[in-house]
A and B are shown apart, each in its own frame.
Chain A
Amino acid sequence: MAPDGLDDLDQEAEGRRQRRAAPSRRSRPPKSDEERRQERERLDEERRERERREREANESKPEPVPEPTPVPAGKKRDRPPSIPFYPDPENEEFLWTVAEAATARREKIPATAVLRLAMRRLSQQMTPSEIVRELSGPVQTGGKMGRPRR
């Protein structure tokens, strides 16, 4: 069988083991603590410099974002991923008939899909301000829902 990723890893580990076991091939005298400290600092400095350059390179050519809808700065961008829906009896009845029709065709159409379709159609037929006008006024007059306000 051809060597796979695990064989490679075994080999790497073996290489590490041998390097650890063998004394340094270089005949230089061992470094003093001070020399080692200096070298560490130099390496750290090099790494920081490298990272800084990379960061700058990344920042100077930001990726073009193909998505529409630029969001005004400072606004919180996350919206809730789902919104509860409280159907009135009529809605419920209608959703039920849709579900029935779907079942007849051996399909499953979730209510959320019906709502998305409804929203799509509504957005084609009415402007937001028309919707507001239509709905404003006594929407919930029953007063049976919710905690009484003080």
Chain B
Amino acid sequence: MSKSLVEWAKGGDRPPIVAAAAWKGGDGKSTLAYEVAYQLGATLADFDWDKGGASGSWGFRPELRVRAPMLEAFEKGKTPTPLRGRRKPDLIPSHPDFGLNQPPPDRVADALEQWVRELDSPLVADTHPGGCDSTYGVLQPADVVLVPAVFADKSLNALEGMLEELTDYPLYVIPYMVKSPPARMRKRLRDMTTRFGIPVGPAVSYYSWIPTRSRRMAISSEPVSKQAAPFVQQIDRVAAGVMNYGA
């Protein structure tokens, strides 16, 4: 990409699309996507159908809803109307049936292009872990792909495979859930990102209160609690890095 998102935002031909993806599950895609979407004032589109994803954190419960916006959007080819909430990003929620009804990658890609144009706001797409049709579809039109990198051997193995497969995508590796990683692992991440020429963004630490948090609003929504301030500062930096990606 030759233009940064800032430039896109000022008179680009469409608002930016940001994806969050990782080949390994549980490394922080949804949390990153949720917070960055909120920070960018973007609509969050949840392409992960599993429970425990971004739609759930938002408070969306498909079993209590008559409509399944994500499924209907693809059935009818229409841009879904995002749900709105206080202190959280606008949401295009996922649906448990989406896994079995994933459209082919090209249709997902076309749909995303259509959605950002019609919504006229940036879009952050959360994905199902690993390479599946909808994830590949989301990656196609993405201007930046947030890739959380957790300092654990299995995570780094999965990451290496992902970087290798997707070298030509605009990946943005975010060292994530960081707690004083050993030199060996820092070096490993450095080596693989250098080898594939992938930029590394600011790091986000591990916070023991995040996994047990039950509130649904964005952590970075005002007023930010004292406890959350360091996390929010780090997320701010990631959001700024996304905006300036490729600049």
A8 to B181, CA, bound (A): 12
Contact for B200 among A6, A69, A80, CB less than 8 A:
A6
A73 to B178, CA, bound (A): 39
- Whether B153 sits at the interface, judged by CB under 8 Å, is no
Given contacts A66-B59, A66-B86, A112-B71, 16 further A-B contacts (CB under 8 A): A4-B200, A5-B201, A6-B189, A8-B203, A9-B181, A63-B215, A63-B216, A67-B61, A67-B64, A81-B51, A109-B75, A110-B75, A110-B97, A116-B66, A116-B71, A119-B66
Determine if A5 and B86 form an interchain contact, defined as CB atoms under 8 angstroms apart: no
- Whether A16 sits at the interface, judged by CB under 8 Å, is yes
- Whether A18 sits at the interface, judged by CB under 8 Å, is no
A-B residue pairs in contact (CB < 8 Å), sample of 30: A4-B201, A5-B174, A5-B175, A6-B175, A6-B189, A6-B190, A6-B193, A9-B175, A9-B178, A9-B181, A9-B203, A10-B186, A13-B183, A54-B227, A63-B87, A64-B86, A66-B59, A67-B60, A69-B64, A78-B63, A108-B101, A109-B75, A110-B75, A110-B97, A110-B100, A110-B101, A112-B71, A112-B101, A113-B71, A113-B75
Main secondary structure of the interface of B (DSSP, over half): loop
Q: How many A-B residue pairs have CB under 8 A?
A: 82
A112 to B225, CA, bound (A): 43
Determine if A5 and B202 form an interchain contact, defined as CB atoms under 8 angstroms apart: yes
B205 to chain A, nearest CB (A): 10
> A-contacting residues of B (Cβ < 8 Å)?
51, 59-64, 66, 68, 71-72, 75, 77, 85-87, 96-97, 100-101, 103, 174-175, 178, 180-181, 183, 186, 189-190, 193, 199-203, 215-217, 225, 227
Contacts of B215 in A (CB 8 A): 58, 63
Contact for B97 among A4, A82, A120, CB less than 8 A:
A82
Q: How many residues of A contact B (CB 8 A)?
A: 34
- Whether A79 sits at the interface, judged by CB under 8 Å, is yes
Do A4 and B199 form a contact, CB below 8 Å, given A9-B178, A10-B186, A13-B186?
yes
Contacts of B71 in A (CB 8 A): 110, 112-113, 116
A107 to B73, CA, bound (A): 13
- Whether A65 sits at the interface, judged by CB under 8 Å, is yes
Determine if A12 and B180 form an interchain contact, defined as CB atoms under 8 angstroms apart: yes
- Whether A68 sits at the interface, judged by CB under 8 Å, is yes
> B-contacting residues of A (Cβ < 8 Å)?
4-6, 8-10, 12-13, 16, 54, 57-58, 63-69, 78-82, 107-110, 112-113, 116, 119-120, 123
A10 to B75, CA, bound (A): 49
Contacts of A116 in B (CB 8 A): 66, 68, 71
A72 to B72, CA, bound (A): 30
A134 to B40, CA, bound (A): 52
A24 to B57, CA, bound (A): 45
Contacts of B203 in A (CB 8 A): 5-6, 8-9
Nearest first, the 8 closest Cβ-Cβ pairs linking A and B are A5-B203, A81-B96, A4-B200, A79-B63, A5-B175, A5-B202, A110-B101, A113-B75
Determine if A13 and B180 form an interchain contact, defined as CB atoms under 8 angstroms apart: yes
A17 to chain B, nearest CB (A): 9
Contacts of B199 in A (CB 8 A): 4
Q: Specify the chain A residue showing the minimal Cβ separation from B174.
A: A5
